Amino acid sequence: MTDYDVIVLGGGPGGYAAALYGASAGLKMALVEEKKVGGTCLHRGCIPAKALLQAAEVYRTIGHADSFGFRLPEGATAVTDWPAVNARKSGIVNQLHGGLSGLLRRRKVTIIEGHGRLTADGAVALIGRAKDIISRGGNKIAPLEIDNLLTEHPDIAAALCAGVADERLGEVIHAVIVTRAGARLDAKTLRDWLLARTERFKVPDVFHFRDALPAGASGKADRRAVAQLAAQPGNRR
Ligand SMILES: Cc1cc2nc3c(=O)[nH]c(=O)nc-3n(C[C@H](O)[C@H](O)[C@H](O)COP(=O)(O)OP(=O)(O)OC[C@H]3O[C@@H](n4cnc5c(N)ncnc54)[C@H](O)[C@@H]3O)c2cc1C
């Protein structure tokens, strides 16, 4: 990754505020975000919650409008239009997201899409670009992070993960595993080993044990080839 004075991992309120402070102090700042700048607060927490609470407040106020001096027709009640309530909420979130992204750009903060990780030598490695990110049931997963974890297993020589379309979850994770010579490893043992080391949603849904990683047209191991292998009859979830 290019040199920056400070690289902030995560573009939530903590991260974007730090990036803006750094930029205003004249530092060359980068902000690594694997989903969307704004974080939990803007996309799933404070902002959407407050938009929905305000809608609830309006509904309640209509219920006793007469106490404010407004008379509704006899027997009239407010009917909730949920798609409209949600559209208003999403509109607010999108507007603030656009405003925040613009502000960061104007302050010359470089926004880098992907999952960042501190390396042993104190550098920051980007281990997954947005286009590679697997979206499993709303959770974003950098496949390289899972590949790296899998290859820490003493019986695994190589591993490659990919997202495969799934009706229920959007995508599920398939992993091709190449075990070391003589090793005996099964999916259940491997799943339990992973569950002890990472979040449940990052554990692959399907393991394909093979003699070699699937290669693409160039002859190199290729994620798209994992997805193609997974799509073959009998290999799906
Ligand atoms: C329903 C709800 C309502 C809330 N309401 C309020 C409220 O009214 N007032 C209030 O003060 N607080 C509220 N909160 C809490 C508030 O959302 C959090 O305190 C705040 O978002 C924390 O900010 P953060 O930057 O620490 O983390 P987050 O907002 O979670 O942001 C972290 C960001 O980092 C990214 N990230 C993480 N790891 C990496 C990585 N390795 N590489 C790249 N990107 C990464 C994530 O994708 C995420 O975007 C609410 C929370 C919820 C869930």
Q: How much of the chain exceeds pLDDT 90, in percent?
A: 65
Which CATH superfamily is 1-126 part of?
A: FAD/NAD(P)-binding domain (3.50.50.60)
Q: With cut-offs at 50, 70 and 90, classify the pLDDT of residue 128.
A: low
pLDDT tens digits, residue range 136-175?
Answer: 998 888 887 788 789 889 999 999 999 999 999 999 999 9
Residue 114 has pLDDT above 90, yes or no: no
Please give the number of the atom of ligand 1 that sits closest to the Cα of 16: 25
- Which of the residue ranges 78-87, 128-137, 179-188 would you say has the lowest mean pLDDT? 128-137
Residue 93 parent element (H or E): helix 82-106
Among 31, 16, 3, 32, smallest CA distance to 126 is for 32
pLDDT tens digits, residue range 204-226?
Answer: 999 999 999 988 776 777 888 88
Cα separation of 138 and 163, whole Å?
13
139 CA → ligand 1 middle, Å: 14
Q: Where are the domains of the chain?
A: 1-126, 132-230
Q: What mean pLDDT value characterizes the chain? A: 90
Q: Do the domains spanning 1-126 and 132-230 agree at the CATH topology level?
A: no
Cα separation of 96 and 155, whole Å?
48
- Name the closest-CA residue to atom 11, ligand 1: 46
pTM of the model: 0.66
Cα separation of 25 and 20, whole Å?
9
196 CA → ligand 1 middle, Å: 25
Please give the number of the atom of ligand 1 that sits closest to the Cα of 38: 49
Among 143, 153, 127, smallest CA distance to 223 is for 143
Which CATH superfamily is 132-230 part of?
A: ANL, C-terminal domain (3.30.300.30)
Q: Are 167 and 237 in contact (CB under 8 A)?
A: no
- Name the closest-CA residue to atom 39, ligand 1: 10
